[in-house]
Amino acid sequence: MPDSAFQMLFLGEEIAWSKVSQAIAEAPAASLRVHRLHSLNELFLVLAGGNWHAVLLDLHAWNYQGLHYVEKVRSEYPALPIIALYSPSVPELEAKAATSGASRSLLLEDVSAFFLRDAVLSCVSEHKSQSHLRKASSTQLALEIPDTAPFPSTKNQIISHALNNLLCVISANADLLAEYVASTGPGTHSLTEIKKAARSAADLMRHIK
């Protein structure tokens, strides 16, 4: 990460993003940065390319696909804080989000930069406090797991693995560079095209698999 600010990834629709981005802009002292992504594929690419503090998911997005996204992210990143945003018009979403694997749920109408930061800090603290309880059983489990290397074994798998890593690096760095390029500067179009190409390539890779 380029600085000491908390770095979060957001996946959701425009209504939720407007609320979140406004909250961040109104509280610079919270030292919180939120990067918006536009698909689950892109989210996984960027997660693999850097050390992010948390993921922020809009539960209402794309006809409540947010709940499915919570499950997907949790299955790949068991310890990553996942903050779910929901509206009071559908109160049962909070319970469903917890069942799906969300670390915390926040009402979209009440969201603020400090609420988000406190939620992430709370998740991190809980994970650290519970880690020693899992240490003994985890060690025992590690001794029982067969020594099978999770590396690509065929030529196609090796190529696919290398291309996925390349796409992760391109997408993550393009997203970070965008913060330092003026919105009307000559590099804006180039960065946009790079990110679009990376997303298209990632989608193609997943269809080929």
Write down the pLDDT at residue 176. 60
Answer yes or no: do 114 and 165 share one domain: no
Q: What is the tally of structural domains in the chain?
A: 2
Please give the pLDDT value at position 85: 95
**Whether residue 93 sits in one domain with residue 14:** yes
Q: How far is residue 156's CA from residue 158's CA, in Å, rounded to a whole number?
A: 5
Residues 84, 104: contact at Cβ < 8 Å?
yes
Asked if residue 67 belongs to a domain, the reply is yes
Of 124, 142, 170, the residue that ends a domain is 124
pLDDT at 127: 62
Same domain, residue pair 118 and 202: no
Q: Are residues 165 and 71 in the same domain?
A: no
Domain containing residue 106? 6-124
pTM beyond 0.95: the answer is no
Residue 176 lies in a domain: yes
Beta strands in the chain (DSSP E): 6-11, 32-37, 54-58, 82-86, 104-107
Secondary structure class of 159 (helix, strand, coil): helix
Same domain assignment for residues 95 and 15: yes
Enumerate residues 6+ apart whose C-beta is below 8 A from 13.
Answer: 58, 60, 61, 62
Q: Do 197 and 107 have their domain in common? A: no
Of 47, 88, 23, nearest to 172 by C-alpha is 47
Please give the chain's pLDDT, 209 residues, in tens.
Answer: 344 678 899 999 999 999 999 999 999 888 889 999 999 999 999 998 878 899 999 999 999 999 999 999 999 999 899 999 999 888 889 999 999 999 999 999 989 999 898 888 888 777 655 544 444 333 343 333 333 334 444 556 556 656 666 666 676 666 666 666 655 666 677 767 787 777 777 666 656 65
CA 166 vs. chain centroid, Å, equals 18
182 φ/ψ angles, rounded to the nearest 5 degrees: -60, 145
Residue 58 sits in a domain of what CATH number? 3.40.50.2300
Residue 168 lies in a domain: yes
